[in-house]
Amino acid sequence: MAAPRGTNRQLSPALLRNCILVLCFIGLCISLFALYVEVIKEKNPDYVALCDVNSYMTCSRVLTSRYAKGFGLVEKIFSNTSIVNQPNTVFGLAFYTFQASLATRSSVPSALGLTVGSAFANVGSIYLGYILAFVLKDFCIVCVSTYVVNFLLLVASALKLKEAARAEIKEISKKKK
């Protein structure tokens, strides 16, 4: 029998953890591919990436634009040669690795860290999506794929936070009895 509407259905912590880990793995793979395209394109301007479909769908043009390093903001704050002005893909690799490490923990603080990190990543995705559509006027399948992964990671992280808080409240209630 299905649960009545409005009841809280619990999701398995293992399922949520595994979903987050799979999303982080996908994000890492996309980031690695994007970094590869960036490096090869910088060395060989004639390189045509697999994701360069036509003149309006050119991921290599987007991934080698000034917005592909430090979100196009770091060079304005520090300098173009600053150590913190790394390709966005490097930040992506660090982000997905950090999120994966948090996903293996079952505490409320780690679930909160996952959710906050994912929220920031989505703010970055919105910013970069705006740049992609209205400044560069291009479509980058690699970029949009990371935006989708980031959104799904936010949903999974919020669900993990909800379940971790529920489990902690249940544990506290047991101790009081």
Q: Which domains does the chain have, with CATH numbers?
A: 13-176 (1.20.1440.130)
Instruction: Indicate whether 4 pLDDT > 70.
Output: no
Which pLDDT band holds residue 7 (cuts at 50, 70, 90)?
low
Q: Is 81 exposed, middle or buried (0-12, 13-18, 19+ CB in 10 A)?
A: exposed
Tell me how crowded residue 140 is: count the other CB atoms within 10 A of its CB.
26
Beta-carbon contacts of 79 under 8 Å, excluding residues fewer than 6 positions away, are 85
Going by pLDDT thresholds of 50, 70 and 90, the confidence category of residue 2 is low
> Using 50, 70 and 90 to split pLDDT, how confident is the model at 140?
very high
Which range, of 36-40, 111-115, 129-133, 170-174, averages the lowest pLDDT?
Answer: 170-174
- Name the residue among 117, 122, 171 with its Cα closest to residue 148: 122
Please name the residue that has the structure tokens 């990671």. 153
List, in sequence order, the alpha helices (H) in 3-140. 13-43, 59-63, 74-77, 88-103, 108-130
Give the mean model confidence (pLDDT) for residues 123-130.
97
Q: What is the pLDDT of residues 64-106, one digit of tens each?
A: 999 999 999 998 888 888 888 999 999 999 999 999 999 999 8
Report residue 18 as tokens: 């595994």
Residue 177: pLDDT above 80?
no
CA distances from 157 to 14, 36, 148 (A): 13, 28, 14
Q: Kindly state the helix (H) or strand (E) to which residue 57 belongs, with its residue range.
A: strand 57-58
CA 23 to the chain's CA centroid: 8
Token pair 């490096």 in the structure block, residue: 39
Instruction: Please give the Cα distance from 34 to 128 (Å, whole number).
Output: 15
Q: Which CA distances in Å does 86 have to 102, 109, 144?
A: 23, 29, 20
